[in-house]
Chains A and B, each alone.
Chain A
Amino acid sequence: MSTQAADIDHGDHDHGPAKGITRWLYSTNHKDIGTMYLIFSLVMLFIGGSMAFVIRAELFQPGLQLIEPEFFNQMITMHGLIMVFGAVMPAFVGLANWMIPMMIGAPDMALPRLNNLSFWILPFAFALMMSTLFMDGGGPNFGWTFYAPLSTTYAPPSVTFFIFAIHLLGASSIMGAINVIVTIMNMRAPGMTYFKMPMFCWTWLITAFLLIAVMPVLAGVVTMMLMDIHFATAFFDAGGGGDPVLFQHVFWFFGHPEVYIMILPSFGVVSQVIPTFSRKKLFGYHSMVYAIIAIAVLSFVVWAHHMFTVGMPFVGELFFMYTTMLIAIPTGVKIFNWISTMFRGSMTFETPMLYSIGFVVLFTIGGLSGIMLALAPVDMVYQDTYFVVAHFHYVLVPGAIFGIFAAVYYWLPKWTGKMYDEGLAKLHFWVSFIGLNLTFFPMHFVGLAGMPRRIPDYPLQFADFNMIVSIGAFMFGTSQLIFVYVLIKTLRKGEPAEQLPWEGAEGLEWTLPTPAPYHSFPTPPTVE
C-alpha cells in the first residue's frame, strides 16, 4: 500500500486542478465537490442558526417583543428546512465525496458529472427557497412538516416556490445517492469485499438506498400539494372528498427514513473515530452492519408514530407502537458496541474522540426519550410539546452535527495537510457541549409541564426555563464561530500534518500522502 502512495507522488499523469472559478464551477473532482458541499453546509448552518437565534430571542421572555407570530412561523419553518436539507444532508454528501473514494481505494466518484450537477442544484434551490421570505405574503409558515391543508388551501402564495425548491433538493439528493451506490458497488479496490469495507462506507451505502427510496415519496407529496393548489384536485382537501391525514401518512413515510438518513452517516463516522482513539478494532463489526440494515428496514414501518393523535384505528396504533419499540434493539446494539470498543482500549481524547463520546452520550439520551415517545398512550401527552423538540434536537444536534464535527476534525489533517489547533478545537467542543445541553435539556421540562411547540409566546409558568434555553442557544450558536476560526487558522498557519496524524488510525485513506493528492488512487491498491 505504501508503494501505492509513492506512485501517486511521482505519477506524471496526475494533473492538478484547473485555475480560477472554473475549477469550482465545472469541477468533477470528488475532493473539490466535497469541499463545496461542506462549505455550503457550513454557510447553511449559520443561516439556519441565525433563524434559531431569532426564534430564541423572541422566546426569551413571555410576550411578543421582536417579531410577529406570522414571521415567527416562517422562521421555525425555514430553520427546520435549512438545517435538514441545507446543513445536515449536504455535509454528509460532502463527507461521502471526500472520503468514500479514499476509503475504498478508488480514483474518484463513479459519476463525476452527475456529482457536479447534484451539488450545483443546491445553491439555486436554496436561493429559491429563501427568496420566498421576501415575497408578498411571506415565506412558508406551516412548519417543516408542512401539514395540509395549512400548507395548501391556507398557504401563502409563495408555497409554489417552496414546492419547486423541494423538488430540486430531492433531485439533488437522489443524484448524490446514486453516485454513492455506484461508486461503492463498482469501484472498491481488489480485495475489499463488502465485509472489509470501512463502517462509514457501509452506513453511507445504506443511507443512499434510503434516499432513493424516500426522496421520490417527498416529491410525490409536494406534487400532490401543487395539484391541490393549482389544478383543482382534492388529495388533501376534505371539502372535495380528499383526506388531510393522507398527507401525513405520505409525508412521514418519507420523514421517518429521513431521520435515519440524517443519523446513519454519523454512526459511520463515530465507528471510524472511536476505534482509532481507543487503539482497538471496532467491536462487533458484523453485528454493527446488521444493526444498520435492521434499522434501515424497520424505518419504513414506523412512520405513523409521528401521528399517534390523528385518531388512527386501535390496531394501527398498536402496530406502530410495537414496531417503533423494535428499533430500540438494533440501536442499542450499536451503542453497546461503541462502548465495548472503548472498553479495554488505550484511549486518548483528541477532539474527534471528544465529539464521538459526546455523540454516544447525548444520542443515547435522545434515544431513550425516543422510547418514551414510542409509547402511544403516553405520547398522547408528549406529542407536539417541547418534549418532542428536545428529543429530536438531542438526536440531531449531537447526533448528526457532532458526527460531522468529529469527521471534520478527524480528516482535516488529511484534507489540508495541516494540523488544527487542538486547544481551540477542544474549547469549541466544550462550549458547544455545554451550550447544547443548556439549550435542549430544559426543553424536556417545559415540554412535560405542558408547553406546546411552535408557539411565539407562552404562559408565564414556562418563563424561567425558556430563558435558560435561549441563553444556551446563544452560547451554542456563537461557539460555532470558534469552529470557523479553527478552520481558518488551520488553513493559514497550521503545522504540517504527518501522513498518519492519529496513532491508531487504520484504513486506505491514511496510506495516501498528506495532503491527499488531487486524484486519490489512479491505480487501485490491493487489500489483503
Chain B
Amino acid sequence: MFKKVAVFGLFLALVPTVAFSDWQLNLNRGVTDTSIAVYDLHMLVLYICVAISVVVFGVMFWSIYHHRKSKGFESHEFHDSTALEILWTIVPTIILIVILFPATKALINSYDTEESDIDIQITGYQWKWRYKYIGEDLDFFSVLTTPTDEIRNKSEKNENYLLEVDKPLVVPINKKIRFLLTSNDVIHAWWVPDLAVKKDAIPGFINEDWTRINEVGIYRGQCAELCGKDHGFMPIVVKAVTQEDYVIWLAEQKALKEIEAAASQADWSMEALLVKGEGVYIKNCAACHQPNGMGIPPVFPAIKGSPIALGPIGTHLATVFEGRPGTAMAGFGEQLSSVDIAAVITYQRNAWGNEVGDMLSPTDVDKLKGGE
C-alpha cells in the first residue's frame, strides 16, 4: 500500500497536470429530477457496496493477520456450517430486495414518456446528430467544431475540446421534452450525463426517452456507442434556456431559413461557390474523403480523379443528393442547403487537380429539391 502511494505521489510531482482537467471522481448530480434520482440510487448502492467490502475484506484480512502459520496458528476443523451457508444466502437476498425497490421506481419513471410538451426527433449519422423539432418546421444538423489543429496538437486545446458543436440543441427548461431517437446508418447512442439520458439510436427503430431540465445552462455529452472511425468526435450540446428565450430562438431560426432560401435565388459566381464549397467540404465531407480529396481507399473513395467528379454533373449531383444506400455515403439532399450542395459539387470538380471547369448553380439543386 505504501509503495502504491509513493509511486502515485512521485508521479504527481513529475507530471504537469493538464489545464481544465479536474480529477472528478463521481457521477454528476445533474439537472433533472431523473438524474438526481439516478444519482441518489447510485450513491445508495455505492455505500452498500463499500459497506459490504469493509465487512468482507475486514474479516478476511483479520483472519489473514491472525491465522497464519508463521504465528504458530494451527488449522481448525471448520469446513461446513449449514447455518452460515443459509445466513449468507439470506442476508444478500435481503440487501438486494432493499436495492430493488428504488431501482424499480426509478425505472418506471424513466419509461414514462407520456404527455410531453415538445417532441424532438434525434437522428444519428456517421458522425453528427440531426435534430428535428416536430411540428415546428425546424430541422438541422449539429457537427463538431473543434478545429483539426487542436486535435492534431498543433494549437492549444480549448476548454470545450471535443465537446463543442456548431448548432446546439436548444430546449426550454421546465418542459417535458420527448426524444424520438433513430439512426441513418449504424447504431449510435445519444448521451448527456447531466440529464441522465442515454438511449441508443438504431436504424429502423424509433426509441423514446424524455427529460425535464430544471436549470438554465449548457450540458455536454458524447456519442456512447461505437459507430465507426469518428465515434469519438460526435458530441452533443444541449442548451437549456427559459421559455421566453426559446420562443425568440425559434423565431430566429425560421428567419434564418428564409434568408437561406433567398440565397439560392441569388446569382452565384464560380469563385464564390468555390470559396463556399471548400468550407462545406471540410465540414461535411473531409471526415471520409479527406481534406486533400484522397479518401481512405478502399472504404472511402478518393474524389480527386474520381470518375463521378470528372463525369457528367448530373450524376455527381445525384450521388451527393441521394447518397449510395447501404454505404457510408449518406444522401446530402436533406442535410445541406441548395447553395451548399451546389458549392461543394463545384468545389469537388475543380479542386486538387480536378479540372472539369464547370459549375452547378443553386437553382439547379432547388429544382431537384422541388421536383423530388
Contact partners of A369 in chain B: CB under 8 A:
49
A70 and B79 in contact, given A368-B52, A371-B49, A377-B110 (Cβ under 8 angstroms): no
Is A464 in contact with B224, judged by CB distance below 8 angstroms? no
A245 and B202 in contact, given A283-B79, A347-B64 (Cβ under 8 angstroms): yes
- A290 — nearest CB in chain B belongs to which residue? B85
Is B106 in contact with A377, judged by CB distance below 8 angstroms? yes
Contact partners of B110 in chain A: CB under 8 A:
377, 380
Q: B253 in the interface, Cβ–Cβ < 8 Å?
A: no
Report the minimal beta-carbon distance from B148 to chain A, rounded to whole angstroms. Answer: 9
Report the minimal beta-carbon distance from A377 to chain B, rounded to whole angstroms. Answer: 4
> Which of B96-104, B239-247, B310-318, B361-369 touches A?
B96-104
Contact partners of A384 in chain B: CB under 8 A:
189, 191, 198, 224-225
A311 and B53 in contact, given A137-B298, A346-B74, A381-B193 (Cβ under 8 angstroms): no
Q: A112 in the interface, Cβ–Cβ < 8 Å?
A: no
Q: Measured between alpha carbons, how far is A339 from B81 in the docked complex, in Å?
A: 13
Residue ranges of B at the interface with A (Cβ–Cβ < 8 Å): 3-4, 7-8, 11, 15, 17-28, 37-38, 41-42, 45-46, 49, 52-53, 56-57, 59-60, 63-64, 67-70, 73-76, 78-81, 84-85, 88-89, 92-93, 96, 99-100, 103-104, 106-111, 126, 150-153, 157, 159-163, 181, 185-187, 189, 191, 193, 196-200, 202-205, 207-208, 220-233, 296-299, 325-328
Is B67 in contact with A345, judged by CB distance below 8 angstroms? yes
Report the minimal beta-carbon distance from A137 to chain B, rounded to whole angstroms. Answer: 5
Point out which of A328, A340, A342, A361 has the most chain B C-beta atoms below 10 A from its C-beta: A340
Report the minimal beta-carbon distance from A389 to chain B, rounded to whole angstroms. Answer: 12
Which residues of A239-282 have CB atoms within 8 Å of chain B's CB atoms?
A: 239, 242-245, 278-282
Q: Mark A381-408, 1 if CB is under 8 A from B, else 0.
A: 1011100000000000000000000000
Is B299 in contact with A156, judged by CB distance below 8 angstroms? yes
Q: Measured between alpha carbons, how far is A149 from B226 in the docked complex, in Å?
A: 11
Is A375 in contact with B203, judged by CB distance below 8 angstroms? no
Of B21, B75, B103, B193, the contact of A462 (CB 8 Å cutoff):
B21
Is A464 in contact with B27, judged by CB distance below 8 angstroms? no
How many chain-A residues does the 8 Å CB contact rule pick out? 107
Report the minimal beta-carbon distance from A479 to chain B, rounded to whole angstroms. Answer: 13
User: What are 5 contact pairs spanning A and B, CB under 8 A?
Assistant: A150-B187, A238-B202, A245-B205, A343-B59, A383-B189
Of B37, B93, B107, the contact of A314 (CB 8 Å cutoff):
B107
- B191 — nearest CB in chain A belongs to which residue? A452
Is B24 in contact with A449, judged by CB distance below 8 angstroms? yes
Q: A438 in the interface, Cβ–Cβ < 8 Å?
A: yes
A375 and B18 in contact, given A70-B229, A278-B75 (Cβ under 8 angstroms): no
Q: A64 in the interface, Cβ–Cβ < 8 Å?
A: yes
Q: Measured between alpha carbons, how far is A59 from B223 in the docked complex, in Å?
A: 18
Is B57 in contact with A342, judged by CB distance below 8 angstroms? no
Of A283, A360, A460, the contact of B19 (CB 8 Å cutoff):
A460
Contact partners of A53 in chain B: CB under 8 A:
none
A62 and B78 in contact, given A339-B63, A460-B161 (Cβ under 8 angstroms): no
